[in-house]
Structure 1
Amino acid sequence: MDVRLPIGVGVTAPVSPLRLDFDSAALVANWRWFAAASGRAVCGAAIKADGYGLGARAVRDRLAAAGCRDFFVATWDEAVALGPLADGLSLSVLHGLRDEDVPRALAGPARPVLNSAQMVARWKASGARRACDVMIDTGMNRLGLTPEEARSGLLDGLDIDTLLSHLACADEPGHPMNEQQLFTFRSVKAAVPARRYSLANSAGVCLGQRYAFGLTRPGLGLYGGVPAPGADGQLHPVVRPHAQAIQIRIVPQGATVGYGATFTAAAATRVAILNLGYADGYLRAFGEGRGRALIDGLACPVLGRVSMDLVAIDITEAPAVAEGDWIEIDYDLSSASAATGLSQYELLTSLGRRYQRCWI
C-alpha cells in the first residue's frame, strides 16, 4: 500500500488525486539494454506521442544524459514542443514534410523523414542546404518510397543522413516477412548512399544484429513494454499509476457494485472507491476483475465495471486501507495487455492528462 507520497527530488505533494510515478533508473536501464543488444549500431530512442505519454522532454533529457544522441518524433508540433536541440543531439520527424511544415523544418535543426516523391520534391524546392532522412517502404505499405522510386534517381542530389524502413512483424520472430523486409532493405541500401541505415525498432532489435545496421530506434521497450520474446525478463517497468481512495464502504452480501450490477457480493465485502476511470485511460477492459490494485504485495481485483472517473476494488484482505490513501494500480504492460486485450502501446499512450507526473 502506498499511503503517503514520498517527497523528494522531482516530486512534490500532489494536488490531483491521480499520479504517475516514472522510474528514471528503469528508463535508462532499458535504453542501455537495447544499446547493448544493438551491438555496433548506435541506439536511438523514439519519443513520439509525448514520450509515449511520459513527457518527451523529460525522457529525452534523461536518455541524453545516459548517452543517447538520436531521437525520433512523429510531427513538427512534437519537434517544436521539445524546445532547442542541444549540441550533439539529432532529431528526426517521422511523418515528413507537408507544405505547411516547410517553414518550421527550415527554421531548426530537426530533419524531415521524406516519405513520398512529393515530399522529396518539396524538400528540394525549399532550397534547404542540409541533410534529410528518407523512409523506404519494404512491405508494410504505410509510409515510405517504394524501392523502385528509391532506385530511380529521385533521390539524386539529396544529402541523406539516415535511410530507414520499418518492420511490420518483428514481434513475431519466425514470421517470413521479417526476412523479406531485411532482403529488400539491403537491396535498397546497396543502391542509395546515406550516412546511416536504420531498420530495427524495439522488436527489431530483438531479432538480432543482422537487423541493426547502423542505427536502431527502440520505442515501446524503453518504457517497460515487452516488444518481442527476446526481451522477456530483460526490461524494467517505468510507469506506476496511483489513485487515491475517495471512499471506503462495506457492500453487503447479495448487493451489487457499479453500472449494470455486474458484480454481486457473495459475502460482505470491503470496497475502496478510487478516483480513476476510463477518462484517465484506465479503460473499461480492466473491469470485471481483469484489473487489480496492489496493496503491500496483495492483488486486489476490480469489482464490476470501470466508470468514467471511478473504479471499485476489493480490499477485504487489506483492512488498513483508509479514505485518502494512495493505492498503486497494477500496470505491468505485458500482463495488463494479456488480461485486457489492449496493446501495450494503447496502455501507455492512453493515460490521461489528469495525472500528476512524478519522476523518481
Structure 2
Amino acid sequence: MYTAESISKILKGELLQQTGHPEIEHILLDSRKLLVAETSVFIPLVSERRNAHQYIDELYKKGVSNFIVSEPVSIGLYPKANIIQVKNTLQALHALVAWHRHQFQIPVIGITGSNGKTIVKEWLYQLLEKDYNIVRSPKSYNSQIGVPLSVWQMKAENDLAIFEAGISQPGEMVNLEKVIRPTIGIFTNIGEAHNEGFLNIRQKVNEKLILFMKSDVLIYCKDYLALNECVNNFHNLVGKREIDNDLQLLTWSRKTDADLRVIGVDKNSNHTRIDALYKQEPIFIRIPFVDEGSIENAIHCWALMLYLGKPQQVIQERMDHLGNIAMRLEMKQGINNCSIINDSYNSDLGSLAIALEFLQQQRQHPVRTVILSDILQSGKSEGSLYEEVAGMLEQKGIQKLIGIGKNISREKQSFSKVKASFFANTEEFLQQVNPNEFQNESILVKGARIFQFERIGKLLEQKAHQTILEINLNAIAHNIKAYQALLKPGIKLMAMVKAFSYGSGSFEIASLLQFHGVDYLAVAYADEGVDLRRAGITLPIMVMNPEPTTFEAILQWNLEPELYSMHILDQFEEVVRYANKSNYPVHIKLDTGMHRLGFEQSDLPVLVQRLQHEGLFKVQSIFSHLASSEDPAKDDFTKKQYERFIKMSATLQQQLGYAVIRHIANSAAIHRHPDMQLDMVRLGIGMYGVDSAASFQDKLRNVSTLKTTIAQLKHIPAGDSVGYGGQWTATAPAVTATVRIGYADGYSRKLGNGNGKMLIRNKLAPVVGVVAMDMLMLDVTHIPDAAEGDEVIVFGEALPVQEVADWAGTIPYEILTGISQRVKRVYFQE
C-alpha cells in the first residue's frame, strides 16, 4: 500500500503537508481523466506548452487529496491535501514507478521496434493468458508517460508482465529501461518510422537496445542487417559489464542460420503455414493471416513461446486461433440517431478507462450508454472490481449500463447509480433486446474477445454505403501538437472547423479539439455553430460569415460574429439593442490587401466610435487574412499585409482602451512567418494533415482516408468501350473493376479518362471512361489478383490527397470539402 508518506520517502521529496493516510492506488497525470479521486495522486507535468500545476485547484475541489508538485503551492488553500515537493515531476513519476517495478520478481517482457509492438504484445496475451495472470500495456501506451502508467498496474496477483516501449529521440530509453526493467526482450524490427529524431538508423537501433541492458534474453530477427550488427555490438558491450547475468540472444531468420530457422512459408487464401528448424528439429505453425507483417509478428511470438518451453503442440493449437487485434476505437453512425463506439475485442480496466475518456468527449447525444462484458484477469475480487467499474462510470457521467456475462451480472448491486440491465451472454442480449430501444445515444460497445461483441456492433451500426471516409483522431491531435510546438509561450490557438471541418465532420472533430484545450473554434456560417452548441461544444465560436437572417440564432446560442463592414455592423447592432444585450463579443475583420472582406484604413475613425457607442459590443479579437503566406515569391506582399495590420490594429486597440486578441497567421504562416504569431494563430487545413511546405508536411500525419470497394470485375475484349459515351476503348483485352464511388460522393468528373488513379493491392489503377453519379471503372489489367470486394483507396496515407488534387487541377481543400454527406464517416482513435 502506498501513502503520501511512503511515496515521499521513495522519491526523497519534502512532505510539505500531511493531513491523512489515504491509500494511493491510481496515478493521475491529466485532470480530464480523473476516475477515482479518493485513491489518486496527481502529478502535474510541465512542458513548454503546458504547466499542469494550474489544475491542482480544480482537482482538489473534485476530491483529490494527494499531490506531487515541483512548484510552490499555497498550502493554505488546500487544508485537507497531502503535498509532496520534488525537483522534477516527470523524473518523480519515473522514479516512483521504477521503485514499484522492483517490488516484483516475475518475468517481464519488454517489446520495442519500429512496427508490430502492440500486435506482438496482444498476441502474446492471447497465447499465454491460460497459463499466467498477465498485466500488459493498455492499447499502445509506450511513451515516457504511457510506460509508467502501464507498469504501475503491476499487482501481487500477476505472474507475467508485457510492456512495450517507444522513443522519438535519443536519451529517452534510459528512463524507460529503469521503469520496465525487462527480463525478456523482443526487438520486432527496424524501419523508417519516427526517424526524424535520430542521426541515422543505427543510432535509433542503439538507443532502443538500451531497454535490454539488464535482460536475460533478447529475441530478434537477423534479417535486418543494421539491427543484427547493432545487436551483436551491443551483446559484446554488455558482456564486458559487471552485471548479474549474461544476455542470451535468441535469433530467427528466413535467410540464414539462426536459433529458429524459417525454411518455408506457404500461404493459401486465409492461412499461412510456417515451417522452421529449432534445435535441429522440424516444427511448424499455422496462423489465420497471410500478410507479411502478421507472419513476422507471429514468428516473434513463436520464438518467445519456445523460449518459455511451451510444448510445440500447445503452440500450434494456440497459433491457429490467433485473433484480429483492434488497434483502435472506432466511432460510427448508428441506428436511430445514435453514435456507436466499437471497442469489442478486449475488456480490462486500463482499456476501459481509455474508452470511457473517448466516450466522455462525445456530447452530441443526451445519453451515454456502455455495453460491457465481464472483465477478465483483473487480479481483483469481483466485488471490488465492479465497485471500481461503477465508480468509473459515475465519474464519466454514464447514464445507462448493459452488463453481459455471469460475473458482472452477479455484481449488479454495485451499479445502483446507473440505469442498468444484465444478460448472461451475448446471445441472450441479441434475442431479448429490441434495437429500437436505443435512441439518440452515444453507445460504447466494450467486451472481451470471447463475448463476440462485434455481433452487437453490427446490430446497432447504421447499414452504410461501402464508400467510407475514415478520420484518424490521433493524427489530428498529433498535427495540432506539431504546430503548437512552434508557438511562442502564451499564444492561443483558433481551430477552423468550417465546411464540416474540411469534410471531416463537425461535432466529432470539435469534441476532440475541446478535449485537447484549443482556445477558439471558427465556423463559416451560424448554422454550423448552432450544430456544435447543440452537440455540447462550449468553446468560444467565431462565425466568419454571419448573415442577418441568423443574428437571432447567434445571440441565442452565444456565438461570436465577425464584423467586416458598416452595413453588417448596423444590422447586428440593431438586433443586439433589441435583445437588450451589452458588451456582446464580436470580432473585427480588417482588409489588409486581400480585398475580400474587412474594414479598411479609412473606416477606422467611424468604426471606433460605433464600437464604443452605448457599450453594445466587446471586441474579442481583431484579425486579418493573409493572401499568400505559403508562397515565398509573395513574401514581400505578406510582409506589407502584416505591417498594415499592425498599424490598423494598434489604432483600434488604443482607441478602444482595453486589451484585444490580435491574429493574422494561418497554418502556413505559423511556421513560415513565426514573427506574425501575435496573440493567436488560426490553424486550418494543416490540422487535417495538409501543408504547402514539403519540409513541414513530413511532420504531419495523414488524417483522412477515402476508401471504397470493387463491385464487379469485367473482362473487356479489344475494341469494346467502357462507360457513358464510350470515351475509353480497350486497345487490347483488358480487365476493369467497377467501384462504388461517383461524382455524387464527391469524386470529381475531372478525374475521369485516365486523369485519376486509385490504389488496389498497393498498385495504382487508372480511371477509365467518365465518372458516373454512383460508379466508375478502373483498369486493373495489370493487377491479376484483384478480386470483387477488394478495398480500393481513393486517397489516404499511401495516396496523398494532394496528388489527387493535382490530377484534378485543383487544391486539397476542394477535394476534402467536396466529399458528400452520404459518404459515412468513421472516426477512430488508435
* TM-score above 0.5: yes
What is the correspondence of 1:223-262 to structure 2 with a 5 Å cutoff? 223-228=688-693, 231-262=696-727
Specify the alignment match of 2:816 in structure 1.
348
Q: Does the Cα contact within 8 Å between 2:741 and 2:776 map onto a contact in 1?
A: yes
1:22 and 2:487 matched: no
Whole-Å separation in 2 of the counterparts to 1:203 and 1:284: 30
Question: What's the offset of the Cα at 1:92?
Answer: 0.4
Whole-Å separation in 2 of the counterparts to 1:22 and 1:87: 19
- 1:206 aligned residue (639, 653, 671): 671
More relative contact order, 1 or 2 (CA 8 Å, 6+ apart): 1
12-21 or 89-98, larger mean C-alpha shift: 12-21
Specify the alignment match of 2:79 in structure 1.
none
6-15 or 330-339, larger mean C-alpha shift: 6-15
Question: What's the offset of the Cα at 1:84?
Answer: 4.5
**1:270-307 deviation digits (Å, cap 9, x = unpaired):** 21101111111101111122222212322122122212
Q: Does the Cα contact within 8 Å between 1:97 and 1:113 map onto a contact in 2?
A: no
Distance change in 2, residues 1:155/1:136 (3 Å)? farther
Q: Structure 1 counterpart of 2:827, which letter?
A: W
Question: What's the offset of the Cα at 1:9?
Answer: 3.0
Question: What's the offset of the Cα at 1:229?
Answer: 5.1
- 1:9 aligned residue (330, 352, 355): 330
Poorly superposed stretches of 4+, deviation over 6 Å: none
- 2:556 aligned residue (90, 107, 119): 107
Structure 1 or 2: more helix by fraction? 2
Question: What's the offset of the Cα at 1:8?
Answer: 5.3
**1:96-116 deviation digits (Å, cap 9, x = unpaired):** 352x33322222222111111
Specify the alignment match of 2:531 in structure 1.
81
Q: Secondary structure at the match of 2:665?
A: coil
Specify the alignment match of 1:149 in structure 2.
603
TM-score (norm 2): 0.41
Distance change in 2, residues 1:102/1:182 (3 Å)? same
- 2:593 aligned residue (117, 128, 139): 139
TM-score (norm 1): 0.91
Specify the alignment match of 1:188 in structure 2.
648
**1:8-53 deviation digits (Å, cap 9, x = unpaired):** 5314665212111111111111122222233332222110111111
What is the correspondence of 1:280-359 to structure 2 with a 5 Å cutoff? 280-330=745-795, 332-359=800-827
Q: How many residues align?
A: 355
Q: Does the Cα contact within 8 Å between 2:507 and 2:537 map onto a contact in 1?
A: no
1:162 and 2:621 matched: yes
**1:154-173 deviation digits (Å, cap 9, x = unpaired):** 45424211111111112213
70-79 or 320-329, larger mean C-alpha shift: 320-329
Q: Does the Cα contact within 8 Å between 1:97 and 1:114 map onto a contact in 2?
A: no
Question: What's the offset of the Cα at 1:225?
Answer: 2.2
Identity of aligned residues (%): 27
Whole-Å separation in 1 of the counterparts to 2:555 and 2:821: 32
The unaligned stretches of length 5 or more in structure 2 are 1-323, 333-456, 654-658
**1:201-222 deviation digits (Å, cap 9, x = unpaired):** 2222232212211111121121
Whole-Å separation in 2 of the counterparts to 1:120 and 1:85: 29
Whole-Å separation in 1 of the counterparts to 2:719 and 2:683: 50
Q: Structure 2 counterpart of 1:180, which letter?
A: K
Whole-Å separation in 2 of the counterparts to 1:188 and 1:86: 36
Q: Does the Cα contact within 8 Å between 1:95 and 1:115 map onto a contact in 2?
A: no
Q: How big is the alpha-carbon RMSD for the aligned residues of Structure 1 and Structure 2?
A: 2.3
Whole-Å separation in 2 of the counterparts to 1:159 and 1:230: 40
Q: Does the Cα contact within 8 Å between 1:172 and 1:228 map onto a contact in 2?
A: no
Q: Structure 2 counterpart of 1:251, which letter?
A: I
Whole-Å separation in 1 of the counterparts to 2:632 and 2:694: 8
Whole-Å separation in 2 of the counterparts to 1:346 and 1:122: 32
What is the correspondence of 1:24-43 to structure 2 with a 5 Å cutoff? 24-40=473-489, 41-43=491-493
Q: Secondary structure at the match of 1:273?
A: strand
Q: Does the Cα contact within 8 Å between 2:498 and 2:528 map onto a contact in 1?
A: yes
Q: Does the Cα contact within 8 Å between 2:543 and 2:562 map onto a contact in 1?
A: yes
Whole-Å separation in 1 of the counterparts to 2:672 and 2:701: 19
Question: What's the offset of the Cα at 1:200?
Answer: 1.4
Distance change in 2, residues 1:199/1:120 (3 Å)? same
Question: What's the offset of the Cα at 1:346?
Answer: 0.8
Q: Structure 1 counterpart of 2:822, which letter?
A: R
- 1:51 aligned residue (490, 497, 501): 501
Whole-Å separation in 2 of the counterparts to 1:234 and 1:217: 18
Question: What's the offset of the Cα at 1:93?
Answer: 0.5
Whole-Å separation in 1 of the counterparts to 2:538 and 2:722: 56
What is the correspondence of 1:269-284 to structure 2 with a 5 Å cutoff? 269-284=734-749
**1:308-341 deviation digits (Å, cap 9, x = unpaired):** 2211112233333322333221352211122220
Q: Structure 1 counterpart of 2:587, which letter?
A: D
Greater Cα radius of gyration, structure 1 or 2: 2
- 2:515 aligned residue (59, 65, 79): 65
Whole-Å separation in 2 of the counterparts to 1:265 and 1:292: 17
**1:62-92 deviation digits (Å, cap 9, x = unpaired):** 1222221210001111111112486862110
Q: Secondary structure at the match of 2:499?
A: helix
Whole-Å separation in 1 of the counterparts to 2:535 and 2:642: 32
Distance change in 2, residues 1:230/1:268 (3 Å)? same
Q: Secondary structure at the match of 2:783?
A: coil
Q: Does the Cα contact within 8 Å between 2:710 and 2:788 map onto a contact in 1?
A: yes
Q: Does the Cα contact within 8 Å between 2:514 and 2:537 map onto a contact in 1?
A: no
